[in-house]
Amino acid sequence: MKHLVANWKMNFVNLDAWLQDFDLNKISDEIKVVICPNYLDIEDFYKKSSKTHKKILIGAQNLSSETEGAFTGQISGKMLRNIGASYSIVGHSESRLHGEDDETILNKVQTAFNCDLIPILCIGENQDEYSKGGTEKKIKHQLTENLFPLKNLSKSVLIAYEPIYAIGSGIAVQNEHLEEVSLIIKELVRDNLGRDLTLVYGGSVTSESAKNLAKVDGIDGFLVGNASLDPKEFANIAQSLE
């Protein structure tokens, strides 16, 4: 099963207009479509989409590492689940930039499980690490710190490989690089968890770049930021995954 995930970040999206222009008929039943609006729009989008676009699944862009209690300004995974979310992005590079450390991210993945949310764990190297040949080291570090300690995990989890320099830059990575990294991730996951996990790529995916990126072995879908704000463009990206 392939995944197509939209990360709307903190953009203002007219939910009715977006849904009106998003043609689910263009998208194969073999693709799970997950939309991650901002927290405040989740419930509204869930209600609206379940009337006209039942196939859409909802994700949050983050969650608290705690489930309940005196944590001012935090949002519980349980609350997100109660308003229609079934996924949550965890460890996006834009959240890591604002102070999320590895231990917090590990706790968030665990909390997502506890709250019956499927975590979409984002990992990836920055430009400097890439230039110095440090991609494998960074990927291994993040998986070892953010996921593998949860050894007995039998629940669903998605890994999103998002090289930081590709996010929002308009330039997706080359297929050769993606192929190499996909092999590294799949092997590490198999060795540590004894099974395969869904792996999606994120970073300047458009309907144009998706045609090429979808040819890479081991890529089970895309996490799309900017291009997902345009429902027609987003639906066109799905076509590459068929």
At closest approach, how far in Å is the CB of 52 from ligand PEP?
A: 25
Q: Toward ligand PEP, which CB reaches closer, 58 or 193?
A: 58
Task: Kindly indicate which of the ranges 42-50, 58-66, 126-134, 202-210 contains the residues binding ligand PEP, using the contact rule CB under 6 A.
Answer: 202-210
Q: Toward ligand PEP, which CB reaches closer, 113 or 234?
A: 234
Q: Which of 92, 94, 125, 233 is flagged as catalytic?
A: 92
- Give me the torsion for CA of 61, 162, 119, 196, rounded to 10°: 160
Q: How many CA atoms lie within 13 A of 81 on its CB side?
A: 14
Compute how many other C-beta atoms are within 10 angstroms of the C-beta atom of residue 194. 8
| Residue found under tokens 């939209």 | 6
Note whether 100 binds ligand PEP by CB under 6 A: no
154: which 2 tokens? 């039998």
Note whether 204 binds ligand PEP by CB under 6 A: yes
Note whether 205 binds ligand PEP by CB under 6 A: yes
Is 162 catalytic? The answer is: yes
106: which 2 tokens? 């590990």
In angstroms, rounded to a whole number, what is the distance separating the alpha carbons of residues 115 and 226?
A: 28
At closest approach, how far in Å is the CB of 98 from ligand PEP?
A: 14
In angstroms, rounded to a whole number, what is the distance separating the alpha carbons of residues 45 and 84?
A: 9
Among 84, 119, 221, 225, interactor with ligand PEP by CB under 6 A: 225
Note whether 7 binds ligand PEP by CB under 6 A: yes
Note whether 231 binds ligand PEP by CB under 6 A: no
82 to each of 46, 86, 97, 216, how far by Cα in Å?
11, 9, 28, 37
User: Interface residues with ligand PEP (CB under 6 A)?
Assistant: 7, 162, 167-168, 202-205, 223-227
Residues forming the active site: 92, 162
